[in-house]
Structure 1
C-alpha cells in the first residue's frame, strides 16, 4: 500500500483496542518511522500521543529494551504530564522506599527495571529496527516481552521493521505467526518519497529534480535526500538556469547520485553511463543481432532508462560528478567553469537538446516517414555550428544513413567546420577520453590547428611551459624532441638574462636526471649539452663560456662538457695471401 493508504489503515487499526500487536513493515528508508511520527502527532487519543518508542538497534537484552522505553517515558511525561502523573508519583514513592532498604537501588537503571511494569502499563509501545537487534538478543526473548506486556499489563505494541534487511527470515516468520495481530506493508511511491525528501532537504531545483527521481524509481527517502543534496551541492546558489542547461545537468546528476547511493534496483554502473556517446549505442534497437543473454537484457533495460532520462551522451561534466560522488570532493573551479559555460552557451545547450530529441525520433518515432524525418532535421542542421564535435559527427552519420539525407549531412558538417574556423583558436584539444567517434574532417581541423601551434612552439616556449606548470603536454614533448643543437645554442645566446636563468636551471635539472626524461624528450638533453659545450669552447664569448662551466660544475655534471671520446678502432692485421695466389708484384 502507498504511504497515504497505509497511514489511513494504521489510524483505523489503532482505534480497535482488541488489536494488540500491529506490524508495520517495508523496505529500508521508505518512511515507516516518518509515517508513525505523523500518526502520533495528529492523534487525538492521549495514549497514542504519549506512545513510547525504542529502537532495538544493537540491543542485546530485554532489559535494554525496557530501559529505552523508560527513557522515552520520561520525555513523554514532559509532553503529557496528566497521562504520566500517577506513574511519576509511584516512581518517587518506590525510589524512597528502596533507598531506605539499600542505597544500591538509587541507580536509575535498577529502579527503572523494577518499575518497568508500572511505567509501561497500558501504554502504546513502538519497537523499531527489530532486524538490527544484537544477535545475543534472541527472538524468543522479544516474543516473551511482547507477550508479557500485551497480556499481563494491557499494553499495545507496534513493530516497525525493514523486512528486506532481515538476515534470517525465520525472525519475521516467527513474529508473524506468534504475536502479530495485523500486518501493514508500506510501499512508498516515488512521488511520496520525493514529497517527504524535499521537505527535509529543500531545493530551488525541486521542479526539475522530481521527474528524474521518479523516472529512476527511487523510493528510499534517505536516498532521495542524498540525491537532492548532491544536486544542491553541484549547482550551488545560482539564481537561475535556463531550461536547456537544467535538461543537460540535472538528469545525469540525479541518475549518477541514485546509482552511487544504491537507490535503483539492478542499476547500471558508472562505466555504462559514461560510455553513452552517440546513437550507435542504441544498436540493439537498430537491428544489430546479439545473443539474448541475461547481460544483454540488463543492458537493454539500462538503455531504456537513459533514454527516458534524455541522457544520450556524457562528457567532462559527468566525469566530475562521478569523481565528486566517489571522493566527496570535486574541482570547484572546473565545475563552476563548466556550468558557467553552459549558462553562457544557453543557445548551444538548446541546440544540443534539439539534436538529442532528433536522435530520439530517429530511433523511436517509426511513424515518421524518411522525408518527414529530414524535415525534422532541417532546424537541427541550422544550429549544427553550436554543438560539440562528437554530436556533430553523430548528426552527420545519422543523416547520411537516411535516403536523401546526404545533402543535409554535409551541410551540418560544413556549418560546424565554418564556425570552428571562425573561432580562430591558437590550439584545440579533443579530450576524447571516452573514445567516441569523430568525423575525419573534424579531426583534420583539430590536427591542423595543433600542427600550426606546434610549428610555432620553440624549445624555450616548451621549457617555460614545463617550469610554470610542473608538467608538459604533447606539444612540449614534440618541441623538445625536435630541438637541434643549433636551436639550443641560439636560445642560450639570445634570450634575456631573466629568461636565461630559468631556462638553464630547468635544462640542467633535466640533464642531471636524464634517465627520468629521455622517454619523453628524446635527445633534447644531449643536444643541450652539445650546445653548451660549443659555447664553452668558443673563445669569442669567454664570459658566457665561463658561466656555463660554472653552472655545469654546480650541478655536478661537468663531465657533459668534455668532448666525446672517439670510438677506439682496433688495428687491422695484414692479410696473409693464400698459398695458391701470387703475391702483388710477383
Structure 2
C-alpha cells in the first residue's frame, strides 16, 4: 500500500470503535515512524488522542520496558522515561501525595502494575501508547510484551499501536503468529512506492537533481528511506562545501546514490565499495564467484562509468570517516568544469569539421564565423584539434585567419608549455602526429624541448644509434639534418672508431635493406663522401678501407658512379 493510502488507512483505523491494538508493519526504512509522526501531530492538535511514544530498542529487558511505559503513563512525558528508575520513583511519590494513605503503594513494579487499574483516572485521557522498533529489541520477550499490551488495553482502556518489521522478528515470529489473533485488532501494512520513498527521503530539490536521484534509486531498488535521507545529507554536505551547476550535479548524484546505498547495505546482494570503484575488478579472473558476477552485472546495468577522484578521494572517504576534504573537492570541481568545457569544445569542433565537409548550405563566411566561436575554448582544445581546424581554414582560403588562431592558442597556453616536463624521448610520443601539428605549435614545443635538452652533435648521435637497436627523435634529428660536409668529416676524419660506427650504422641503408626511412638522404650523403675518397685519392689507405667495406656489403659498384659536384 502506498504511503498516502497507508496513512489514510491508519487514520481510519484510529477512528474505529473496538480497535484497541493496531499494528503498523513494513520493511526497515519504509517510513513507518515518519508516517506515525505525521499522524500523531494531527491527533494531538485536534484533541483526538494523547499519543505517548516509546522505542523498544532502548530497553534491555521486558521489566525495563514496562517500567518505562508506566513512568511515561504516570508522568505523561515520553522525554522523562529515559531517566528510568529515578523518574519512576519521583512519579510514584507524586501520585502518593494525591492518594489516601490506604491507597498509597510502594515503588515495586509488580505492585504498581497491580494497582494501575485503581488509579487509571490519573492517567491521560484518550491515551494512545505507541511501541516502536519491536523487532529490534533483542532481549524483550514477545509473549510477555503482548501480554502486557493486553493488560493495558483490558484493564486501563489504553489504546496501543505497535510499529514493527514482521519479517525481521526472527525467533519471535512464532510467538507473534500465535498471539496476534488474540491481541491485535487490525494490521496495516506499509509498502511505499519508490516515488514515496524518494519524496520522503530526498525531499525537495531542483527538478533535474531530483529526477536523477529518483531514477538511480529506482535502478538499484532502494526504498529504504533512511538510506535515501543519508544520500540527501551527503549531497547537502558536498553542496555546502562546493557549489556546482546542474550539469555537474547530474554527473555526481549517481555516484552518491550507489556508494551511499552500498555503504549502508541498502542493496540486496549488492557489490562492495571496492568493486564499485574498481569497475574492471572481475577481468583477469579465471573463475569469478557468483557474487562477483552479480556485482559486475549490476554495475554494468547501473552504468556508473569510470570512477575518478570524486569517488576515490572525496566521496568514499567522507562516507567512511565523516571528514569531507574540501580542498580536494574544490580541485575536483575545477577539473570537472574543465572536462565539461573540453567536451563542449570537442562537440563544436566536430560540428565545424562536419559542416565544412558536408553542409552545402553553409557559406565560407558562415563557417569562418563558427570557427571564430571556438576562440572561447583555447584553454581546452588540444594541439591536434587546433592544427586540424587551422588546416580546414586554410582550405577555406583564409590562411591568415588560421595562423592568427593558432598564434592565439600558443600565446594562451604558453605558460603551461613553458613549464611542462619533457624527457629526451618526449617527441617520440608524438611520432605519428607531431609532424601534422601547425608549424607554430611545433616551434613552441621545440623551443621548450631545446631549453631542457641541448642538441646532440652528429658524432654523439651516430655513437648512440650504432650502439642501440632503437632510437628517438633527439638522436635521429642530427643525422636527418646533417650536411654533406658533416658526413664528409665523419668518413675522412681522424677518429677511426667513429668511422667504424658510421659504417655500421649506414650499412643497412647502403645495402638497400631498409626502405622508406628518413635516414636515406643521409645515407646517400654517406655514399657520396665515400665515393669522393675513392675517386680523388684511389691509392690512399682510407680508399682501400672503403672499397673493402663496400665490397663486403656487395655494393662495390656504388663507388663507381660519378661524384656530385
Q: TM-score, normalised by structure 1?
A: 0.51
Is 1:221 matched with 2:225? yes
Q: d(CA) in 2 for partners of 1:253 and 1:352? A: 28
> Aligned partners of 2:332, 2:431: CA distance in 1, in Å?
23
Deviation at 1:6, TM superposition (A): 1.0
Q: Which residue of 2 aligns with 1:551?
A: none
Shift of the alpha carbon at 1:132?
2.4
Matched, 1:342 2:345: no
Q: Are the counterparts in 2 of residues 19 and 182 from structure 1 also a CA contact under 8 Å?
A: yes
Task: Say whether the 8 Å CA contact 1:245–1:342 is kept in structure 2.
Answer: yes
Deviation at 1:45, TM superposition (A): 9.4
Residue matched to 2:311:
318
- Residue of structure 1 in register with 2:493 after alignment: none
CA contact (8 A) 2:57 2:133 kept: yes
Note if contact 2:209-2:250 (Cα within 8 Å) is conserved in structure 1: no
Q: Pick from 167, 170, 189: which aligns with 1:185?
A: 189
Structure 1 residue matching 2:129: 3-state secondary structure: strand
**1:28 positional shift:** 1.6
SS at match of 2:164: strand
1:95 corresponds to: 96
The alignment's C-alpha RMSD in Å is 5.1
Determine whether 1:230 maps to 2:234.
yes
Which residue number corresponds to residue 53 of structure 1?
53
Corresponding residue number in structure 2 for 1:302: 299
**Mapping 1:96-175, distance limit 5 Å:** 96=97, 100=101, 105=106, 113=113, 116-117=116-117, 118=120, 119=123, 123-135=127-139, 137-168=140-171, 169-175=173-179
User: Is 1:255 matched with 2:258?
Assistant: yes
1:205/1:291 CA distance change after superposition, 3 Å: closer
Change (3 A) 1:11 1:77: same
Q: For residues 231-257 of structure 1, what are the alpha-carbon distances to aligned partners after superposition, in whole Å with 9 as ceiling and x for unaligned?
A: 222232545x33432232222122212
Aligned counterparts, 1:459-474, within 5 A: none
The offset of 1:51, in angstroms, is 2.3
Q: 1:203·1:228 contact (CA, 8 Å) conserved in 2?
A: no
Aligned partner of 2:269 among 266, 269, 291: 266
Q: 1:248 to 1:353 in 2, by over 3 A?
A: farther
Query: For 2:278 and 2:259, how far apart are their aligned partners in 1?
Result: 13
Distance in 1 (CA, whole Å) between partners of 2:431 and 2:28 is 51
1:152 is paired with a residue whose SS is: helix
Write the distance in 2 (CA, Å) between the matches of 1:237 and 1:248: 17
Query: Mean Cα displacement is larger for which, 169-178 or 219-228?
Result: 169-178
The whole-number CA distance in structure 1 between the counterparts of 2:347 and 2:332 is 17
Does the Cα contact within 8 Å between 2:27 and 2:165 map onto a contact in 1?
A: yes
Any idea what SS the aligned residue of 1:65 has? helix
Q: Secondary structure in 1 aligned to 2:188?
A: strand
CA contact (8 A) 1:127 1:160 kept: yes
Native 8 Å contact 2:44 2:50 kept in 1: no
TM-score (norm 2): 0.53
2-structure distance, mates of 1:234, 1:191: 24
Q: For 1:225, what is the secondary structure of its paired residue?
A: helix
1:228 and 1:96 map into 2 onto residues whose CA distance is 51
SS in 2 for 1:28: coil
On the 8 A contact 2:55/2:131 being kept in 1, the answer is yes
Structure 1: 5+ residue runs without aligned partners?
80-89, 284-288, 355-378, 393-414, 430-439, 458-586
Q: 1:444 to 1:112 in 2, by over 3 A?
A: farther
Structure 1 residue 29 displacement after superposition: 2.0
In structure 2, distance between residues paired with 1:108 and 1:348: 76
Q: 1: CA distance between counterparts of 2:256 and 2:95?
A: 60
- Structure-2 separation of matches of 1:244 and 1:305: 19
* Count of residue pairs the alignment pairs up: 369
Other-structure match for 2:417 = 424
1 CA distance for matches of 2:174 and 2:157?
27
Helix, strand or coil at the partner of 1:157: strand
How far apart are 1:261 and its partner, in Å?
A: 1.8
Whether the aligned pair in 1 keeps the contact of 2:7 and 2:39 (CA below 8 Å) is yes
Give 1:166 deviation, angstroms: 2.4
Secondary structure of 1:314's counterpart equals coil
Name the SS of the counterpart of 1:43 in structure 2: helix
Deviation, structure 1 residue 27: 1.5
On the 8 A contact 1:47/1:123 being kept in 2, the answer is no
Change (3 A) 1:43 1:344: same
Whole-angstrom CA distance in 2 between matches of 1:454 and 1:180: 88
CA shift in 2, pair 1:387/1:8, >3 Å: farther
Paired with 1:425 and 1:350, the residues of 2 have a C-alpha distance of: 26
Query: Matched residues in 1 for 2:345 and 2:24: separation?
Result: 50
In the aligned structure 2, how far is the partner of 1:171 from the partner of 1:185?
Answer: 19
